[in-house]
Amino acid sequence: MSDRRVPFLDLRPADSPDLDATLTAIRRVLERGWLILGPEVEAFEREFAEVSGVAHAVGVGNGTDALFLLLTALGIGRGDEVITTPVSAAFTALAIVMTGARPVFADVDPGRLTIDPAAVAAAIGPRTAAILPVHLYGQPADMLPLAAIAERHNLALIEDCCQAHLATCGGQPVGTFGAGGAFSFYPTKNLGAAGDAGAVCTGDAALAERVRRLRHGGQAARFEHQLAGVNSRLDEVQAAILRLRLPALRDATDRRRALAARYRTALAATSVAVPPERDPGHVYHLFPVRLAERDRLRAHLDAAGIETLIHYPTPLPEQPTFAEQDPASCPTANIVCAEVLSLPLHPRLPDRAVTTVANAVRSFPDRSPG
């Protein structure tokens, strides 16, 4: 609930039919009495694989587990290094740490805000086993050079697609450039569940089967544990809700793109910098802008009743939890994280809200008084 003129997001059902349909889906699962790894999960896996342009999807507990299970299924672990971005949610790098491997941070492209292929190439060392780019804010990472680097050095390529449902890079779906992609269905994502949920997508049948075993305690058959797996299973209730919401994802993505275009036009003559759209496959999970006086702008918008968030205020190499990994400094990431601010953008946002936000940004004084 929010009394702001423009809240950042509202996760309540859009209308009573949506709520009724959600409750009907939940009731269907409860009445069936099959709550874990049943027909709803199997159906959602098929349906999500189809819209994502891959052969296989495996439902898991959340996006972090999806990354961890992909890395583990590829044999990446202690003694290995995985190159990833310094600008992301910490869970990207934490998934690497969970395997026993070491995250190596390569700086970001200052325009795209995703990992810089040149920095990745410079970071490769004798222990490098994989590259893990993040499609940040819905903007696909620069996958063609990243894929070429991975192939040249015989490295695994794993994509963090948690903010990039239906995104494409050069017309190719994200999650299809390397071994596989990890998706999150956290409630705020472009496709959100009513709780935690995730999926691994891959074109490799053997890899998909290994992930299926790993998510379920490493079982090949009931009580027969062949792998050191974990317990990370997408449940039937969340799968049923995701199946209900999946058909609307394309229209919702179109709406995000339309709102982003309105923002770009409305903010063109303001003091904020809008990161360029480097690929039309951008799906606008978030709409970030940049300004050196970010905190003062945020206070200005807050006073105008406009809610904003910061994604992400601290680059991962500066996070205390990664200090023991001896991370390299990423100067571009440091600047980005000090300047970036996310404006409200979601499919239910009215056009007039974009105008309200843009007018508030336009009224922001360029210099602090005194």
Whether residues 57 and 134 share a domain: the answer is yes
Render each residue's pLDDT in the chain as its tens digit; 370 residues. 456 789 999 888 766 668 899 999 999 999 999 999 999 999 999 999 999 999 999 999 999 999 999 999 999 999 999 999 999 999 999 999 999 999 999 999 999 999 999 999 999 999 999 999 999 999 999 999 999 999 999 999 999 999 999 999 999 999 999 999 999 999 999 999 999 999 999 999 999 999 999 999 999 888 889 888 999 999 999 999 999 999 999 999 999 999 999 999 999 989 999 999 999 999 999 999 999 999 999 999 999 999 999 999 999 999 999 999 999 999 999 999 999 999 999 999 999 999 999 999 999 987 655 4
Predicted pLDDT at 367: 65
CA–CA separation, 56 vs 181, rounded Å? 11
> Domain of 255: which CATH number?
3.90.1150.10
Whether residues 142 and 158 share a domain: the answer is yes
Per the domain annotation, does 306 fall within a domain?
yes
Look at the chain and report how many structural domains it folds into: 2
Per the domain annotation, does 124 fall within a domain?
yes
pLDDT, tens only, 13-30: 766 668 899 999 999 999
Element (H, E) at 57: strand 56-60
> Domain of 197: which CATH number?
3.40.640.10
Q: Among 213, 247, 281, where does a domain finish? A: 247
Whether residues 212 and 356 share a domain: the answer is no
Whether residues 295 and 222 share a domain: the answer is no
Whether residues 234 and 282 share a domain: the answer is no
DSSP bridge partners of 198: 60, 184
Q: State which residues form the domain around 28.
A: 16-106+114-247
Per the domain annotation, does 7 fall within a domain?
no
DSSP bridge partners of 132: 84
Per the domain annotation, does 153 fall within a domain?
yes
Per the domain annotation, does 32 fall within a domain?
yes
Question: Is there a contact between 51 and 246 (Cβ–Cβ < 8 Å)?
Answer: yes
Predicted pLDDT at 15: 64
pLDDT, tens only, 196-235: 999 999 999 999 999 999 999 999 888 889 888 999 999 9
- The dihedral through the CA atoms of 204, 210, 213, 215 has a sign that is negative
Per the domain annotation, does 369 fall within a domain?
no
Whether residues 219 and 163 share a domain: the answer is yes
Q: Among 185, 215, 247, where does a domain finish? A: 247
Whether residues 239 and 266 share a domain: the answer is no
Per the domain annotation, does 9 fall within a domain?
no
pTM of the model: 0.96
Q: Among 223, 247, 271, where does a domain finish? A: 247
Whether residues 269 and 218 share a domain: the answer is no
Whether residues 283 and 222 share a domain: the answer is no
Predicted pLDDT at 14: 67
How buried is 97 (Cβ within 10 angstroms: 0-12 exposed, 13-18 middle, 19+ buried)?
middle
Instruction: Give the DSSP per-residue string, 124-154.
Output: --TTEEEEE-B-GGGPPP-HHHHHHHHHHTT
Whether residues 340 and 242 share a domain: the answer is no
Whether residues 72 and 120 share a domain: the answer is yes
CA–CA separation, 8 vs 343, rounded Å? 7
Whether residues 190 and 334 share a domain: the answer is no
